[in-house]
Amino acid sequence: MSSIDLIVGPIHPALHEPERFVFKIDGEIVVDVEPRLGYVHRGIEKALSERTYIKDIYLVERVCGICNVAHTLTAAQAIEQAFGVEVPRRSKYLRTIVHELNRLHSHLLILGVVCELIGFDTLFMLFWRDREVIMDLIEMITGNRVMSAYNIIGGVRRNIGDFEVTQIKGVLSSLAKRVKQYKKVFMDDPTIRARCAGVGYLSRAKALALGAVGPTARGSGLELDVRVDEPYAAYDEVKYCAVIYNDGDVWARLMVRLDELLASMEVINECLDKMPSGPIRVPVPEAAPQSAEGVSVIEAPRGELIHHVYTKRDDDKPFRYRIRTPTYANIPAVCEMLKGCYIADIPAILASIDPCFSCTDRAALIDTNSGEKRIIDILSLARRSKK
Amino acid sequence: MLIQRIAAWARLRSPWILHINTGACNSCDIEVLAALTPRFDVERFGILLKPSPRHADVIAITGPVTRQAAERIRRVYEQTPDPKFVIAIGSCAISGGVFQDCYGVIGGVDKVIPVDVYVPGCPPRPDAIIYGVVKLVEKVSKGG
Amino acid sequence: MVNDHLEVIDSLGNELKEGLLDVRYLPEKRALLVLVDKALIFKAIEALNKISGGEMHLTTISGADLGEDYIELTYFLWLLPQRLRVIVKTKLSKDDLRVQSIVNIAPATVLYEREVYEMLGVIFEGHPKLERLFLPEDWPQNMYPLRRR
């Protein structure tokens, strides 16, 4: 029996998330998957321990440009813990608001990309149109569209006033209506049901054993949400319930994200109402006051994100810095999902874990018998699958 | 001669762009993609994003060049038919940006392949990316 | 669920006996810190898996060379039924960087162990495929980017 190797990759963005998959294929069915990583390994962990804490915040932000707020928030929390600094309550609320806005833009982005990959271009454009209003809000609060550099060690960089509060509330209330509409489309539309329901199944037991995180785990019925389990920032003071779907397929993972959009908007509104007044940051020494260890775990848009830092007394650089990004944790799980699926479903399944999507960039088909190599990209793979 | 001039004219009216990422953090990539969507909509200028180097006139590169990606972009550059132009998008593609001294990074795109237009910013706004393409078209129409 | 960590401490003590070097609850990290001898790392993770009834989520393994003559491995675990974060730490002497792999208990470690191997040179015995993960093919052998000299 001739088997074919299908190579997806290697061009991919973020530190721990460069994915290149080699698929062993029998006919149209994927038999086995082997991930190969590291095409864009930049060595950020090493660079972090060669720079000062202040510069590190800007470097961790560039681990991933999509969930940059999640990274700065985790880094700030980990370093504050090691320094023994307590930040003002108002800054915790502001951090939560910007973190949730970041999640809104990230979820809208991936929902759009999945729609494009399954051939629903209209919905892709609609999601991305709605994402722009969130980008405007982020720009208004932080001063930049993408790289916000909002969280700093000891608090946040900018305050918000009454004008911003009314603006945010107005935008969110109109966006909530649209998201409800999209949710209806995802529930009823035959195209989406046909391409997503029952595709890329991951059982709860497998999700747990393989260490899946975030919407990937919650789509398989695994109750893992750091916001509920280990509340950070202002999450211990706002109401939040984890969104769980038990289907374990692509559709369930997308529905988790859609429901989280609505939940995030409620969190932002509650934060805006409850936000205490007071200072937004405290002064922090440049060098570490003690040799200590800081650990911070948060729920980034893609799942659990952990930063682990060792500080050394009187040194202004971290001794060792470790980051584990959510997509990295989801790779064993996505390999499991891909086994037994059709080639045509590969793009949708890969995108359903939200792998910082640029990784699904180019693919090469190698016929093991003739050794002939054809380079195709995942979009034309998706286009081929639509026929 | 006439055919070449017509081809050059047509190409300037509709540059097809291949986007590759050589180790970027994703922020430039989402801004490139955002330029396609309703708010910015570059397709109204005839600018199309193409997934294959065989179809592209312009290669838009984001991110610092990592050790593993250097060979790949050189190959993509060779696969692109002449005449071809390169736009380096973002601080990292220009000089390596914040990743300059990381052990996995070689530096800017111009260390590996020639670059025609640089678009600064971290990340540049979609407006700036469109402006960069316009600058390239101007440069080429003046005999580049 | 306030005193769940006390029960976990008791059961760990019963399972590991004197191999358990230290165990205490860190309120500022809201986590249970467990220090074990490297020979017992497999047993410790197995015991925690048993305590949680198989409902254990492995967050990550992080390795650090702190400039001393040992390398510190940190296992971050989350026990679902107890809703408890557990941090298991062990120290490996640089003369003997071998430790038992825990892939059999938690398949999630398969990539983390490979990463610690290539970054710090720790050898996980029993790992099905201990190869390079991130570094380029032409990276020199026996050179570990995160080691301190």
Beta strands A155-156 and A151-152: pairing type?
Answer: antiparallel
Nearest-Cα residue of chain C relative to residue A305? C59
**Partner chains of C (3+ C-beta pairs under 8 Å):** A, B
CA of C47 to nearest chain A CA: how many angstroms apart? 16
In chain B, what is the straight-line distance between the N-terminal and C-terminal CA atoms, in Å? 18
Nearest-10 Cα torsion for A208, A211, A216, A217: 30
Asked if B26 and A358 come within 8 Å (Cβ–Cβ), the reply is yes
Q: Residue C112: its chain A contacts at CB < 8 A?
A: 324
The single-letter code of the amino acid at B72 is R
Could you read off the pLDDT of B126-139 as tens digits, one per residue?
Answer: 999 889 888 888 88
The residues of chain A scoring below 50 in pLDDT are: 1, 10-18, 357-387
Query: How far apart are the C-alpha atoms of C44 and C37, rounded to whole Å?
Result: 9
Nearest to B15 by CA among B132, B105, B102: B132
pLDDT for residue A41: 67
- DSSP code, position B121: S
Mean pLDDT of chain C: 83
At A356, give phi and psi (nearest 5°).
50, 70
CA A244 from chain center: how many Å?
17
Instruction: Collect all residues from A whose CB is shorter than 8 A from any CB in C.
Output: 18, 35, 37-38, 41, 43, 45-46, 81, 208-211, 222-224, 229-230, 295, 297, 304, 306, 308, 310, 319-320, 322, 324, 328-329, 331-332
- The token duo for C14 is 């019963």
Mean pLDDT of chain A: 81
Say yes or no to pLDDT of B7 above 60.
Answer: yes
| Higher pLDDT pick, A300 / B72 | A300
Which are the contacts of B126, defined by CB distance < 8 A and separation ≥ 6?
B31, B32, B34, B35, B39, B40
Asked if A211 and C28 come within 8 Å (Cβ–Cβ), the reply is no
Say yes or no to pLDDT of C1 above 80.
Answer: no
Chain B stretch 1-40, residues whose beta carbon is closer than 8 A to a beta carbon of chain C:
none
State the CATH architecture for B17-141.
3-Layer(aba) Sandwich (3.40)
Instruction: Collect all residues from C whose CB is shorter than 8 A from any CB in B.
Output: 136, 145
Which of A177-186, B20-29, C25-34, C118-127 holds the top average pLDDT? A177-186
Query: How far apart are the C-alpha atoms of B123 and B25, rounded to whole Å?
Result: 10
pLDDT for residue A269: 93
Of A12, A42, A66, the CB nearest to B102: A42
Q: Residue A12: its chain B contacts at CB < 8 A?
A: 21
The CATH code belonging to domain A44-198+275-323 is 1.10.645.10
Neighbours of B11 (CB within 10 A): 17
Which are the contacts of C138, defined by CB distance < 8 A and separation ≥ 6?
none
Check: CB of residue A87 under 8 Å from CB of residue A308. no
With 0.90 as the threshold, say if the pTM is over it.
no
Task: Give the whole-number percent of chain A exceeding pLDDT 90.
Answer: 29
ipTM of this predicted complex? Answer: 0.88
Check: CB of residue B102 under 8 Å from CB of residue B92. no
Which residue of C24, C29, C49, C62 to mutate against A (max A Cβ within 10 Å)?
Answer: C62
Radius of gyration of chain B (CA): 15
Element (H, E) at A305: strand A303-310
pLDDT for residue A11: 42
Nearest-10 Cα torsion for A366, A368, A370, A371: 50
Could you read off the pLDDT of C35-52 as tens digits, one per residue?
Answer: 888 888 888 888 888 888
Say yes or no to pLDDT of B93 above 80.
Answer: yes
The single-letter code of the amino acid at A147 is M
Check: CB of residue A333 under 8 Å from CB of residue A202. yes
pLDDT for residue A104: 93
- The token duo for A108 is 């809208």
Q: What is the mean pLDDT of residues C95-120?
A: 86
Chain B stretch 63-122, residues whose beta carbon is closer than 8 A to a beta carbon of chain A:
63-64, 66-69, 72, 97-99, 101-105, 122
Q: Residue B106: its chain C contacts at CB < 8 A?
A: none
Element (H, E) at A365: strand A362-367
pLDDT for residue A178: 92
Asked if A319 and C29 come within 8 Å (Cβ–Cβ), the reply is no
The single-letter code of the amino acid at A194 is A
Mean pLDDT of chain B: 83
**Partner chains of A (3+ C-beta pairs under 8 Å):** B, C
Asked if A230 and C30 come within 8 Å (Cβ–Cβ), the reply is yes
Apex CA C122: angle with CA C117 and CA C126, to 5°?
85
Nearest-Cα residue of chain A relative to residue B121? A147
Write down all domains in chain C, each with its CATH number in brackets.
4-98 (3.30.460.80)
**Secondary structure (3-state) at A376:** strand
Asked if B103 and C145 come within 8 Å (Cβ–Cβ), the reply is yes
**Secondary structure (3-state) at C78:** strand
CA quadruple C136, C141, C146, C149: dihedral sign: negative
Q: Where in chain A is the domain with CATH 1.10.645.10?
A: 44-198+275-323
Ordered DSSP codes for A53-122: HHHHHHHHHTT-STTHHHHHHHHHHHHHHHHT----HHHHHHHHHHHHHHHHHHHHHHHHHHHHHTT-HH
